[in-house]
Chain A
């Protein structure tokens, strides 16, 4: 299967939307207007988009602390997302979740997660539901290199193979769990080696290369949809900002991020590849960039102007019935 021109435009648009959204949240957070903890996905766009381009609303994903990119790639409304991050009443979760719990189940986005390794067991359940109900859906757990070491993740990979679930475990290895290097914290050389231990195929890809992620995800998702069980994908990438906003990143090498931005930026690589191959032209992509900048301007303005929740909202939504 080849990527159509529409697919390429959609992929670029989503990657650019994630980048612009995160760059803007970075700037706005620094003004003090955004409350709480925020973990940004800039630099990792090719992973979320390369995987989620294969998915529709019947498919589920679970995310990490760093969830904005997965939300956008799974077609959540960026304006409602921005409002949620500002804690507004008509945010994606009514202002009750915030950045770390941002979710939209109607889109199959089962939530960013404040617990490292919280998502993989949930994804086994979503995959089991898809299998039992015969929806043809698959479920994808996005996990960081930190989450790759959690027992919940090991248990979920084991169960996914035992039950032959339509599940995919995508390990986004950005090299750091907070400040601790994955070279220190991961017991094997590469996370992908763990696939064999859990009886599933594994593949490692360059997470700056949208096309490599897309191809690996296609194979894994096709296998899951056709009853072939789970797959592990390790995506090697870099995050452009700190673990959280406000992180001084003293643990990183000087110039580390600048070098990646200059030489291996996923959006630049995508643009060069599609324009050199004559698939899309630069003016089209420039137009998308301008359009998205305006959309994010509007999203931030809307979010700032949106009403905050009131005291009546405090006590609702704890139970369906009580």
Chain B
């Protein structure tokens, strides 16, 4: 156990899995950085330094720089996965899905079903998402709801370095196509992370905090916002449960429903655009299956339905933060108990 950043946790997960299984290969734009260039190779480790050192350890047959051709290499990763390798492809920003989505949702995601259960596609696509870097409209989106929508894909959204390492190792060992979302603001977050390899199963939510007044379900980086909000609310005497689903597909709805049965109040925090996102999805499923347990209307905390703005002043207004989460919790706590009113 030692303190590691989210970036180091991912690097360690990749290195340990590559040592364990020679079929694991990496490909992506600048994953080594510098192929064919006159200067140093692997001095950079890609735009975020996540893959630094892997080329030096595993060499050019295991760590492949690609041209900037996402359709070709994401599709090649899918084809290689169906042909005996276990590729980890890096789609630098999830915003770039627009130029390769067919290979993900029409090809990789559907092989198994279309081919009558005979295909195995152990593909992991790591991709960076989220606002907060002043990276503007084409480099800041949270597009995991689009992938969650597709049967055949699994969607993993780690909220901390510990979660990232265990979930990434699970993703690489999983036999289905997995989209692994890394929030760019979390890369420098540090916490205690085991040095040895470990896995965190998919479809099992993490009960981050237990409280009796309200259930907060938060996705990815928003778990950190919810934790900050819960600290503030505790001083006001409001006791929050926080649930991190970890994976949006599969989704551990049972843990969410059990908690709502106990607290009777639900706030869902999602950084994705507010229409058809995880907040609307989870809210709808809870309303469908546990309406009778609710003491107050469900609150959803999401950004406004606009592209991510560039200006720091605007982006700070855009991102759901701890203050917005706390305000939503106070609103559901302040609402009259709907069940008592009906009696």
Nearest residue (CB) in B for A130 is B83
Report the minimal beta-carbon distance from B64 to chain A, rounded to whole angstroms. Answer: 7
How many A residues have CB within 8 A of the partner chain? 48
Report Cα–Cα, A95/B250, bound state, in Å.
Answer: 26
- Give 1 or 0 for each of A54-89: 1 = CB within 8 Å of chain B CB: 000000101000000000000000000000000000
Measured between beta carbons, the chain A residues less than 8 angstroms from B261 are none
Q: Which of A25-33, A231-239, A285-293, A311-319 contacts B (4 or more CB under 8 A)?
A: A311-319
Asked if B64 and A163 make an inter-chain contact with CB atoms under 8 angstroms apart, the answer reads yes
Asked if B82 and A122 make an inter-chain contact with CB atoms under 8 angstroms apart, the answer reads yes
Asked if A125 and B250 make an inter-chain contact with CB atoms under 8 angstroms apart, the answer reads no
- Give 1 or 0 for each of B70-103: 1 = CB within 8 Å of chain A CB: 0111111111111111010000000000000011
Chain A residues in the interface with B (C-beta under 8 A): 60, 62, 91-97, 101, 103-106, 110-111, 113-115, 118, 120-126, 128-130, 132-133, 139, 151-152, 155-156, 158-159, 162-163, 316-322
Chain B residues in the interface with A (C-beta under 8 A): 23, 25, 61, 64, 66-67, 69, 71-85, 87, 102-103, 106-107, 110-120, 151-152, 154, 174-176, 203, 250
Asked if B72 and A159 make an inter-chain contact with CB atoms under 8 angstroms apart, the answer reads yes
Asked if A60 and B113 make an inter-chain contact with CB atoms under 8 angstroms apart, the answer reads no
Report the minimal beta-carbon distance from B322 to chain A, rounded to whole angstroms. Answer: 34
The 3 A-B pairs at the shortest CB distance, nearest first, are namely: A121-B75, A125-B79, A94-B116
Asked if A94 and B117 make an inter-chain contact with CB atoms under 8 angstroms apart, the answer reads yes
Main secondary structure of the interface of A (DSSP, over half): mixed
Measured between beta carbons, the chain A residues less than 8 angstroms from B64 are 163
Asked if B77 and A93 make an inter-chain contact with CB atoms under 8 angstroms apart, the answer reads no
Asked if B117 and A156 make an inter-chain contact with CB atoms under 8 angstroms apart, the answer reads no
Report Cα–Cα, A93/B80, bound state, in Å.
Answer: 20
Contacts A128-B80, A132-B85, A152-B103; A93 near B69 (Cβ below 8 A): no
Asked if B80 and A91 make an inter-chain contact with CB atoms under 8 angstroms apart, the answer reads no
Asked if B25 and A132 make an inter-chain contact with CB atoms under 8 angstroms apart, the answer reads yes
Report Cα–Cα, A92/B66, bound state, in Å.
Answer: 35
| Extra 6 A-B pairs, beta carbons < 8 Å, given A129-B79, A156-B76 | A103-B118, A128-B85, A156-B71, A318-B113, A319-B112, A320-B112
